[in-house]
Amino acid sequence: MDDRRPELFKLSNQLIEVYVQDVFARNEVDLNKLKDRITDEQRENIKSTVNMLKEQVDDFLHKQNTRKQVTEDSEEAKPSESPLRAKIIGKDKEEN
């Protein structure tokens, strides 16, 4: 999953850019005028919000990967014999 992360970020960024451009075009917003109206404080707030969301996504993905690994490990630890087979083996041991 880690090797695909840059590709996923690139794809998500492209989709966001297309979506934002579409919204601006529908509402006839001029990007140059908009950039001039945003204060430095607003820019910093937007950057900190984006960074916080990225951290939350990374934490979520890390937790999901950890859960998946734990599940896979527990499945590998289980014996592959069926309950019926276990009963038959148990009866064989009792008879002996």
Q: pLDDT digit string (tens) for 9-66?
A: 888 888 888 998 899 889 988 888 888 888 999 999 989 998 999 899 888 988 888 8
More confident residue, 89 or 39: 39
pTM of the model: 0.46
Q: Does pLDDT of 74 surpass 70?
A: no
DSSP one-letter code for 30? -
Q: Does pLDDT of 4 surpass 90?
A: no
Domain assignments of the chain as residue spans, ordered by start: 1-37, 50-96
Query: How far is residue 27's CA from residue 6's CA, in Å, rounded to a whole number?
Result: 32
Q: How far is CA 25 from CA 12, 13, 28, 29, 37, in A?
A: 20, 18, 5, 6, 18
Contact between 1 and 65 (Cβ < 8 Å): yes
